[in-house]
């Protein structure tokens, strides 16, 4: 006698056997104690799973779930809190930056004038014709073949090309001045950051209390 | 463009779903994850996902099975992000000794069943959830999980075999 396979036994219990196989399986189970015992073990699993009771979630789940839904009135509170916390982060960053800048020596800010030497063209590109004529003038000013015949190449740091007229009017830029960040301004920024953060926390507290009610 | 009052009705309908089905969804998650806090996080994720694909006319169709399927998938994702174990290796099974907090026989039996469920690998847990608690057919499970019917049957029968062994002395 062929016993029922595990697959057929499971399909039998799930009601997934076609009618003719169902009758065949029923007939076999009536006469086979071994298959009956296997089926009883499986049936026990079905029964235990079915009897598993539902558990109750915590009372806070409902309001917190609703509050997270976009468009829900609770959501505005979370979004506001998010914006306020972002503002707090930016304010803190500014305060940190201001404190770092206030510690730097004043000459650190002279980079602008150091790079833009008077007498050199600045902030505008010359036209190709102007570049060509400048190169031509430079070539004429140098002694012909001097670079090729020189026993040693000129030191590029001490070599000074002949003075040439500027191609275009020099644009004189005012020296860059950055606002000086004093300890006071740093304190003001830090206080602002703190105020924004406290406002955010207060908004969160109010929203949470409202949801819990 | 949808009229505001239609959207408003949709919002109200969805809030109603949260009220009505949060316990069902929680229990799907609790059976699959085994931890109340994790389950509540999964409930929130489920409703957020459902909300994003929610349309006001959805209020006409039965939402319970849909929400529970989303919840099961959310839990499966969460389980797959945990430390993976080979499929044939079963999860640690807690002692069958009754704890002091479990006074009644019924509670002890339910604890054993939950422990046995949590001892299953996630794939097996998923098919048990869909078949026994959500009552999906083999074909529906295969469609839901995007896997061949033969795989679904194999996982389901194997999961039952493991549970049967674990729960042999529990009646």
Contact A48 B11 (CB under 8 A): no
d(CA B71, CA A9): 30
Interface contact flag, A69 B47, Cβ < 8 Å: yes
A22 vs B9 pLDDT, higher one: A22
User: pLDDT tens digit string along B127-139?
Assistant: 999 999 999 999 9
At B129 the pLDDT is: 96
- A78-131 per-position pLDDT tens digit: 666 667 777 777 877 877 777 676 666 655 555 554 555 555 444 455 666 777
Token pair recorded at residue A15: 């009601």
pLDDT attached to residue A150: 47
Confidence (pLDDT) at B3: 38
Lowest mean pLDDT among A6-10, A205-209, B76-80: A205-209
Give the least confident one: A47-51, A111-115, A208-212, B129-133: A111-115
DSSP character string of A147-205: HHH-SSPPPTTT--PPP---SS---PPPPP-PPP--HHHHHHHHHHHHHHHHHHHHHHH
Residues B53-77: pLDDT tens digits?
A: 876 555 566 889 999 999 999 999 9
Query: If pLDDT is split at 50, 70 and 90, which confidence band does B171 have?
Result: confident
Average pLDDT, chain B: 83
Q: Is the Cβ–Cβ distance between A193 and A91 less than 8 Å?
A: yes
| Residues in B touching A59 (Cβ below 8 Å) | none
* Rounded distance between C-alpha atoms, residue A79 and residue A207, angstroms: 11
- Closest Cβ opposite residue A69 in set B48, B131, B164: B48
In the 8-state DSSP scheme, what is residue B58?
A: G
pLDDT band at B147 (very low <50, low <70, confident <90, very high): very high
pLDDT beyond 80 at B169: yes
Interface pTM, i.e. ipTM = 0.82
pLDDT of the residue at A121: 47
The alpha carbon of residue B113 is apart from the nearest alpha carbon of chain A, in Å, by 7
Query: Which of B12, B44, B165 has the most A C-beta neighbours within 10 Å, making it the best mutation to test the interface with A?
Result: B44
- Residues in CB range of B2: below 8 A, 6 or more apart: B56
Per-residue pLDDT of A142-153, as tens digits, reads 655 554 444 455
Dist CA B31 CA B1 (whole Å): 41
Cα–Cα distance, B153 to B138 (Å, whole number): 7
Say if CB B63 and CB B19 are below 8 A apart.
no
CB contact under 8 A, A69 and B51: yes
Among residues of chain A, what percentage have pLDDT more than 70? Answer: 54
**Collapsed DSSP state (helix, strand, coil) of residue B101:** coil
């Amino acid at each position: 006698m062929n016993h029922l396979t595990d697959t057929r036994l499971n399909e039998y219990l799930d009601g997934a056997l076609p009618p003719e196989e169902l009758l065949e399986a029923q007939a076999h189970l009536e006469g086979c104690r071994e298959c009956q015992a296997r089926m009883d073990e499986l049936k026990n699993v079905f029964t235990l799973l079915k009897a598993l009771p539902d558990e109750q979630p915590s009372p806070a789940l409902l309001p917190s779930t609703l509050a997270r839904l976009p468009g829900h009135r609770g959501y505005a509170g979370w979004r506001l809190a998010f914006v306020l916390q972002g503002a707090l982060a930016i304010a803190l960053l500014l305060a940190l930056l201001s404190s770092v800048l206030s510690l730097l020596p004043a000459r650190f800010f002279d980079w602008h004038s150091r790079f833009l030497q008077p007498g050199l063209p600045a902030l505008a590109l010359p036209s190709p014709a102007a570049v060509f004529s400048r190169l031509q003038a430079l070539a004429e000013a140098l002694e012909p073949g001097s670079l090729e015949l020189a026993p040693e190449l000129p030191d590029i740091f001490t070599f000074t090309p002949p003075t040439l007229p500027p191609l275009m009017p020099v644009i004189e830029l005012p020296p860059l001045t950055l606002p000086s960040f004093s300890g006071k301004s740093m304190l003001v920024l830090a206080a602002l950051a703190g105020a924004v953060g406290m406002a955010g926390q207060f908004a969160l507290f109010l929203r949470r209390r409202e949801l819990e009610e | 463009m949808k009229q505001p009052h239609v959207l408003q009705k949709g919002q109200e309908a969805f809030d109603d779903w949260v009220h009505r089905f949060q316990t069902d969804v929680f229990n799907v998650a609790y059976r699959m994850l085994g931890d109340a806090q994790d389950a509540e996080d999964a409930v929130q994720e489920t409703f957020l996902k459902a909300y994003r694909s929610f349309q006001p006319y959805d209020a006409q169709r039965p939402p319970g099975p849909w929400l529970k399927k989303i919840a099961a998938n959310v839990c499966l994702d969460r389980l797959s992000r945990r430390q993976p174990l080979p499929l044939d290796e079963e999860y640690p099974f807690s002692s069958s000794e009754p704890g002091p907090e479990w006074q009644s026989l019924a509670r002890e039996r339910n604890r054993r069943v939950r422990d046995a469920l949590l001892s299953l690998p996630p794939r097996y847990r998923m098919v048990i959830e869909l078949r026994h608690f959500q009552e999906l057919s083999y074909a529906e499970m295969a469609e839901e999980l995007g896997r061949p019917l033969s795989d679904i049957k194999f996982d389901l029968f194997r999961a039952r075999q493991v549970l049967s062994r674990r729960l042999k002395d529990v009646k």
